Structure 1
């Protein structure tokens, strides 16, 4: 639980940018936008989500609970005909709360890391894995030394672990016979890790 305090003008701007950056890294949301799972206006709906999250975080005199934020994100994704059971809703919610708390303290370090990560990602376009084995030896040598420094920073493990087409970015989502993406659930594993 977080009891809201007042944000400075700078913190408000940083918080808005942090929300946008974090949602921009959320693979499930980005896949829904790209594939228009919520209809032709999916992108506008996602922009409204960012605004709704911002207004939710800056509510005066109300306690903030991460569970309520998780419900807001879950309801939104369901409105896009997308059910998320991979734990990313919980991770995004937690990271949004962390960013909000840091902004209240005037600490923008997490947002700066997101900003740097976004610029690195923009400088390294998404690669498509084709399955050609002819050039793998050359690629492995050039990638092995630079992969740890070039990868975007995750606020928590798995925030963008379903990015499609990026080698070394986690498993490629499985698609069932009906065309639905199969996502494993952390909630249904009995709570063991």
Structure 2
């Protein structure tokens, strides 16, 4: 009767979906990442990078399956998750998070993982509630579930931007990435040979 225990669990797809949502909520609640996206420190596609970020963290873990495998795959530990979180912040957003917020995010993700593994989604729901309560204050509205699609204009600034820098994790990013203004190059006149053919010149 080994299958009776697994039969009581929600389907693997449900557990996996909740886990991935939990990871996304944990990242959207990370002030350092939110500030990085709002200021586009990862470039104009910073919001897309955050979505990719969530997927990359979720992929650290083996997918849930309905039938227990012969060999249980190894799962990353808290330190592995935190290391990857901080590394992606540096690589993709050029932000060195030097506070403990990375540990907090990794801890939330590990709690979500443990809960989803046994079919309990309390931690996912708690993160969802925090996200919805915070939505409109500091977290932008890019990450939206279908049921919230009609509320995506409800996040006007209420003057709370002044304290956003406190959650940036000490990230002091200089704005030296702006393209330098350069004088336009002189257009080269086409060269015509004696037969009347225009010569192709290499662009420099």
TM range (shorter): 0.5 to 0.7
Shift of residue 38, structure 1, vs aligned partner:
1.7
Query: Is the CA contact 1:99–1:111 (under 8 Å) kept in the aligned structure 2?
Result: yes
Mind listing any 5+ residue stretches in structure 1 that lack a counterpart? 1-5, 130-163, 180-193
Query: Is the CA contact 1:14–1:108 (under 8 Å) kept in the aligned structure 2?
Result: yes
The 5 A counterparts of 1:59-138 are: 61-79=73-91, 80-122=93-135, 125=155, 127-128=158-159
Does residue 49 of the first structure (1) align with residue 61 of the second (2)? no
Corresponding residue SS for 2:59: helix
**1 CA distance for matches of 2:111 and 2:173?**
39
TM-score normalised by the chain length of structure 2: 0.58
**What root-mean-square deviation, in Å, do the aligned CA atoms of Structure 1 and Structure 2 show?**
3.1
Shift of residue 40, structure 1, vs aligned partner:
1.9
**2 CA distance for matches of 1:29 and 1:83?**
11
In the superposition, relative to structure 1, how do residues 122 and 42 fare at CA in structure 2: closer, same or farther (>3 Å)?
closer
TM-score normalised by the chain length of structure 1: 0.61
Query: Is the CA contact 1:33–1:46 (under 8 Å) kept in the aligned structure 2?
Result: yes
Shift of residue 57, structure 1, vs aligned partner:
1.9
Mind listing any 5+ residue stretches in structure 2 that lack a counterpart? 1-8, 64-71, 138-154, 176-204
How many residue pairs get matched?
A: 140
Query: Is the CA contact 2:32–2:167 (under 8 Å) kept in the aligned structure 1?
Result: no
**2 CA distance for matches of 1:172 and 1:56?**
26
Corresponding residue SS for 2:76: coil
- Structure 1 segments of 4 or more deviating over 4 A? 123-126, 169-179
**2 CA distance for matches of 1:176 and 1:43?**
20
Does residue 11 of the first structure (1) align with residue 15 of the second (2)? yes
Query: Is the CA contact 2:96–2:171 (under 8 Å) kept in the aligned structure 1?
Result: no
Instruction: Kindly name which structure, 1 or 2, has the bigger radius of gyration based on alpha carbons.
Output: 2
Shift of residue 9, structure 1, vs aligned partner:
1.4
Query: Is the CA contact 1:127–1:165 (under 8 Å) kept in the aligned structure 2?
Result: no
